[in-house]
Amino acid sequence: MTTSTTLSHVHQFVPATDPSQPPLLLLHGTGGDEHDLLPLGQAVAPRAALLSPRGRVIEGGRPRFFRRLAEGVFDEQDLIRRAHELADFVQEARDAYKLPAPIALGFSNGANIAAAVLQLRPETLAGAVLLRAMVPLNEAPEADLTGIPVLILSGALDPIVPDEKAARLAATLRRAGAVVDHRTLPTGHNLSQADLTLTKAWLDQR
């Protein structure tokens, strides 16, 4: 495992034990850091390389990937800027660690910026697992996502992400050509064993 501050984001990198496996880009939720999703990544893709950056925005002392104006109300100008910064970091890391395009695995705030990267810089990612995601940008940019696989896992009891916003994200990505599997689980905003099981099964097919 490598901790690095030499690239544009502080991050952790875990080399692959099977280089044929697609690497995972792990994107934490609000208040998380580059360590948070490593256990999840190791559980769902135990032989894959893991790239886990820390969000560069601080809200009340807690890292995030972009600013928000209120719960569920995003600063879209900042989101666009940070999505491009994250895409640039992924390219830096690919060059530094000799990686192919990763599959994003994001939770909450991390899932939202992953969805924004898909729409703004689709060449950055080979796919995405979006856990508790909502529509990141009210006006979806034109993007060609033809054939890009996306798994969206929502919580039926989630007080933060309304069903309509998750369904709208799925529809938006499908219209752009992504191959979207959207499932709603009987849980809230927190992750469950079902999230891990479904994510691992989906990744095993890549």
**Which residues are catalytic, by number?**
108, 158, 189
Cα dihedral value 202, 199, 83, 124, nearest 10: -30
Q: Tokens 């928000």, residue?
A: 68
SS (H, E, C) 10-50: CEEEECCCCCCCCCEEEECCCCCCCCCCHHHHHHHCCCCCE
Tokens of 133: 């995601």
Size of the chain, expressed as the number of residues it contains:
206
Q: Which amino acid is at 87?
A: A
CA 143 from chain center: how many Å? 17
Identify whether the C-beta of residue 13 lies closer than 8 Å to the C-beta of residue 50. Answer: yes
CA 114 from chain center: how many Å? 4
